[in-house]
Structure 1
Amino acid sequence: MLILTRKANQSFLINEDIEITVTEIGGDKVRIAIDAPKTVKILRKELVEATSANKEALENSNLELSQIKSILSKSYKVIK
């Protein structure tokens, strides 16, 4: 793991086509900007982990797809 120290408005590059810029530092938050080609997938780690956990829970579930749709339709409008 590489650890860098940057101030607001300073950047670093990944390869030659991805630029990460610290845009704001305040309190316990840092705002960054990522300039990358549209072909580069950028995902928040917690969303990837949640998606993975949801898939695993679904695979381990004994519910049929129709049962899942029924449960979801009670709380959300299901798009068919």
Structure 2
Amino acid sequence: MTFRDRVEHRNGQYAVYAVACMRGGPQPDLLSDAGWWQTPLWQYAVFAVVIYSRAAAERRSVPVGEVARQIAAAHSLELTA
């Protein structure tokens, strides 16, 4: 996906920063940060998951699927193909 305008770019940036923020402890206030007029942030959250998963896989020199399995195991989730 290509971000077409400043709002889409900002939403993507927010999602990436929110993940880093949550890792550090603070929780972003999604209800007040996202208005009813905006595209739902979950779409951008998916992009953030992809970005961080690829970065983790590259850093650990493992396939992205292995990163997904480790995350699922840490949260007691079962992945199906």
TM-score, scaled to structure 1: 0.31
Please identify which structure carries the higher helix content. Answer: 2
Please identify which structure carries the higher strand content. Answer: 1
Structure of larger gyration radius: 1
Greater relative CO, 1 or 2 (CA 8 Å, sep 6+): 2
